[in-house]
Amino acid sequence: MPAKSKAQQKAAGAALAAKRGDMKKSELKGASREMAKSMTESELEELAETKRKNLPERKAAK
């Protein structure tokens, strides 16, 4: 499942870095902290590798 916004893609990248040990889990905030807890490394990888071109900065509220 590709990321739906640039913010989601960035959060997934941060969570993935923490899962891999490239950054401390204590440095995570908000959505990235929740993603690190609830998603597998492969799920995070899929979100983080989404191309950022043509993605909105944030998903529009309905």
pLDDT digits (tens, 9 = 90+) for 1-50: 888 999 999 999 999 999 999 999 999 999 999 999 999 999 999 999 98
**Does a structural domain hold residue 58?**
no
Residue 21: φ, ψ to 5°: 90, 10
**Does a structural domain hold residue 61?**
no
- Output the CA–CA distances (angstroms, integers) from residue 37 to 34, 44, 51, in the order listed: 5, 11, 24
**Does a structural domain hold residue 32?**
yes
Q: How much is the pLDDT for 53?
A: 87
pLDDT digits (tens, 9 = 90+) for 39-48: 999 999 999 9
- DSSP assignment string, 3-34: -SSHHHHHHHHHHHHHHHTSS-GGG--HHHHH
**Does a structural domain hold residue 42?**
yes
**Does a structural domain hold residue 43?**
yes
**Does a structural domain hold residue 22?**
yes
**Does a structural domain hold residue 62?**
no
Mapped onto helix, strand or coil, the DSSP state of residue 51 is coil
- Look at the chain and report how many structural domains it folds into: 1
For residue 29, give its domain range. Answer: 6-48
**Does a structural domain hold residue 56?**
no
Q: How much is the pLDDT for 1?
A: 81
